Chain A
């Protein structure tokens, strides 16, 4: 920490040299490995349940006798499984490892992180079960009931404190831009989630103010967690893989602060012409359009890196994932701004196109980047090769194809749906039938995502099992060998 008297000195409190990558990986092994394992499991679950939910859009009779599989329950379950199961845990796992690596300090608090991960998963499971059993709160992205959210907060605090501790113990002079984004995301999420839950669900404001709070929260989560983490991970992976320095620290800082200043003001534009006063939606429009500028800054920053070492980046799956993810993120920013233009939004509002836009951010931008980062760090953290390394490229193809297919199908279907809705002479039933084929394509896309999730999950599980066997088997053999002296169990 810097002393108050010398605020400009580089904050090197610990004169010790940075820890070696091998030490850091070893310190991350169990906590980050557990988070990766859980995150990949939730990715698979979100893919399967998401596919099931999308099927319900075009085959509503499926499983109709089961209340828990009705669209209005399974859709929020799939959404929350992705956001809180994969999004939060993958984000936390990546943040823990990257913060340790970039700070040059070993990870501390592993017991707390493991406990926190177990707590988080327990809270998420009871919460999702409650949503499926009719306990959802009815506010999008805030569906989990109160008791589950409180468990989630405990889990989050147990995990998220440690990357910040590591950050404070950093042994490198300059803070790398990725760390700004991680710190910002780690601070933003609890604030957003607590304020969103309090004002929209626990102690709801009056009337449409609940919707305003929910819109603020959702958009804040999109930018403050998924956006910040996508950029942070991409800004690490691309220079790291290519060995090329990030070309401008100033531009990175400029982009960071622009995103922080403009990004959180969006959200209300979801209620164009709805029951929110005009100024709220107008603010949402302006913020969303201005959020394009941090995107441009990040694009300018990353373009030279990708340009000069395209071959090196594309030779590593994580590099391909990161490029595709960051590309999706920039595309999301641009499309979200275009969606604010009044002729466009009149068509897209309330349609599949909005779903496509959200999908592009969650599964496209964050999903691809985070999956790439998982593949990048899993073998290093777990300490051995992933057993099915050949599948990684297949997962990349599946995941990018799925995102493209989903976004294009829902985008086109949404435009058709919107054009139909805007034509009052077209019977509503015809409008509905018009987008059904596109929902079918969405099911295909979600199935591809589920298969891809299976590839990641199988790889992580197999690697963890192999590593655990390697750690346990010699000890067990020693124990089970008749007459052998009992050795201390090594951790």
Chain B
């Protein structure tokens, strides 16, 4: 191996072969997957995000939420994701057709978010989590994002703003201050509520639930609610979180 060109060509072949095999080949194989038409509703899946949710995806990206949160659910035989109620089925390639960039994440320092929009969070809960997660779960290690909110003094006599965060009982928040979500927080929460990987694909048809499953998600059609509060035993939830006024 005393020949520079031979060395160069050999290495080039190795790199290009892996590139063709791992990126280009798959691109020609399933890069043209189509959106799926859901017959019952006539809507396509994954559904398009509205403008606010798209802006929220930018906020999610800019603040690097994907360094702590994944957006992928593993199959029942490969991990406890489904048992934890993070989804009804594993996620597949077609769930991400509209995402740009795709932020799958590699670390779970926080819970998975692939189906956050299907869980039992009110909009106010999500704001509180962003503002200070320890207001809801005192032992949480999620950072605070106070810069997504505006803290302003209450004007004496004037009614509090309808957009202000509703704090839970007993939280140590100054009484004369109200906290208003800024535009970034509005967008981010809209994005979080749009996260749903719930269409039934036959690639990963959810296996029939055993009648006596180990925990709460036995045989029902939804995700168990949030895990941050330490419970995953909760009744099934159907609808999306109600919007904040």
A positions within 8 Å CB-CB of B = 1-2, 7, 10-11, 56-58, 60-61, 64-67, 70-73, 75-76, 134-140, 164, 167-168, 173-175, 180, 183-184, 187-188, 191-192, 195, 199-201, 204-213, 215-216, 220, 224, 253, 256-257, 260-261, 263-265, 267-268, 270-277, 280, 283, 346, 349-352, 354-355, 417, 421-425, 427-430, 432-433, 436
Contact = CB atoms under 8 A, between A and B. Distances in A.
A137 B61 CA distance: 7
Nearest to B32: A206
A11 B4 contact: yes
Contacts of B97: 206-207
B2 A10 contact: yes
Which of B19, B94, B100, B140 gathers most chain A CB within 10 Å? B19
21 contacts: A1-B4, A2-B3, A7-B3, A11-B3, A58-B141, A72-B63, A136-B62, A192-B15, A195-B23, A207-B102, A209-B30, A216-B18, A216-B23, A260-B11, A274-B74, A275-B95, A346-B78, A346-B79, A350-B106, A421-B108, A428-B84
A208 B104 contact: yes
Contact of B18 (A7, A136, A220, A428): A220
Given A139-B101, A180-B7, A427-B227, A60 B215 contact: no
Interface in B127-145: 137, 139-145
A272 B140 CA distance: 27
A427 B91 contact: no
A392 to B, nearest CB: 34
Interface stretch (B48-56, B64-72, B157-165): B64-72
Contacts of B27: 199, 205-206, 209
A277 B214 contact: no
Interface in B1-45: 1-4, 7-8, 10-12, 14-19, 21-23, 26-27, 30-33
A57 to B, nearest CB: 7
A365 to B, nearest CB: 20
B26 A277 contact: yes
B22 A349 contact: no
Given A188-B11, A274-B104, A65 B147 contact: yes
B149 to A, nearest CB: 11
Interface size grouping (class) on chain B: 35 or more
B108 A350 contact: yes
A207 B140 contact: no
Contacts of A260: 10-11, 14
B190 interface: no
Interface of B: 1-4, 7-8, 10-12, 14-19, 21-23, 26-27, 30-33, 60-68, 70, 72, 74-75, 78-80, 83-84, 90-111, 137, 139-147, 214-215, 227-232
B180 to A, nearest CB: 16
Question: 3 closest pairs, A vs B, by CB?
Answer: A72-B64, A427-B230, A273-B78
A207 B99 contact: yes
Contact of B91 (A270, A274, A355): A274
Contact of A76 (B26, B64, B80, B104): B64
B30 A277 contact: yes
Dominant SS among interface residues on chain A? helix
A81 B84 CA distance: 36
B102 to A, nearest CB: 5
A217 to B, nearest CB: 9
Contact of A70 (B64, B70, B109, B229): B64
Nearest to B62: A134
Given A195-B23, A352-B107, 8 more contacts: A66-B147, A136-B61, A191-B16, A200-B101, A265-B21, A275-B95, A424-B80, A428-B230
A57 B229 contact: no
Given A273-B79, A346-B78, A421-B80, A73 B63 contact: yes
A285 to B, nearest CB: 13
A429 B140 contact: yes
A354 B106 contact: yes
B21 A187 contact: no
Nearest to B80: A424
B13 to A, nearest CB: 9
B107 A216 contact: no
B100 A265 contact: no
Contact of A267 (B22, B91, B139): B22
Contacts of A424: 80, 83-84, 214-215, 232
Contacts of B12: 187, 191
Nearest to B226: A428
Contact of B101 (A201, A280, A430): A201
B22 A210 contact: no
B115 to A, nearest CB: 13
Given A72-B67, A174-B2, A209-B26, A355 B107 contact: yes
